[in-house]
Amino acid sequence: MSEKYIQFVANYEDWVAIRKLKVEAATDPRTIMEFLASLTTSVDRKVEENLGKIVDLEKLDAVLKEIPVGKSEEEIATVLREVNTRKVSSVINEITGVPSFQKNVQKELASFCKVYATRKLLKASKAMIDYSEIEIPGMKRVMKAGKKK
């Protein structure tokens, strides 16, 4: 029987990460879950950093700051509606509608920006939208390092 493992290696600018997990019959599913959660936290942060290198996220952030956020179901529903308003969409179209990008690239970048906006607003609402919100004992050091940036 061949060895089973999950391996992730990143050596990119200021991001150097080597994460390996050998998966055996005795490996607890919780261990695999925590390992994968730690990867997604790091990867999501890098997706947003790289998106910011392509489009002007500061313009989008400025519009998002104007949107009131809250914790109740009604307030979170309002946040979700606001992401789809003309105001937010027009800023996304402005920052992704660069003539040097082909139409399919513009559309892809607009989708990334929509996800970015949704995640940002929901996080501001204190909604648990991804695994980075979970306190995993072994990830505390990783999470602190990620929040410094």
Per-residue HEC secondary structure of 83-120 comes to HCCHHHHHHHHHHHCCCCCCHHHHHHHHHHHHHHHHHH
* Cβ–Cβ under 8 Å, residues 37 and 138: no
Residues 140, 147: contact at Cβ < 8 Å? no
- E strand or H helix at 73: helix 73-83
At 23, the amino acid letter reads V
- Predicted pLDDT of residue 128: 84
The tens-digit pLDDT sequence of the chain (149 residues) is: 578 889 999 898 888 888 899 999 889 999 898 888 888 888 899 999 999 999 999 999 999 999 988 888 898 998 899 999 999 999 999 999 999 999 999 999 999 999 999 999 999 988 888 887 788 776 555 445 555 54
User: pTM value?
Assistant: 0.82
Q: Which pLDDT does position 147 carry in this prediction?
A: 53
- Asked if residue 20 lies in contact with residue 6, where contact means CB atoms within 8 angstroms, the answer is yes
What does the chain come to in residues? 149
DSSP 8-state assignment for residue 72:
S
Q: What is the pLDDT of residue 136?
A: 76
Strand partners, 10: 17
Per-residue confidence (pLDDT) for residue 12, from 0 to 100: 85
pLDDT, residue 13, reads 84
Instruction: Name the nearest CA neighbour of 71 among 114, 131, 117, 124.
Output: 124
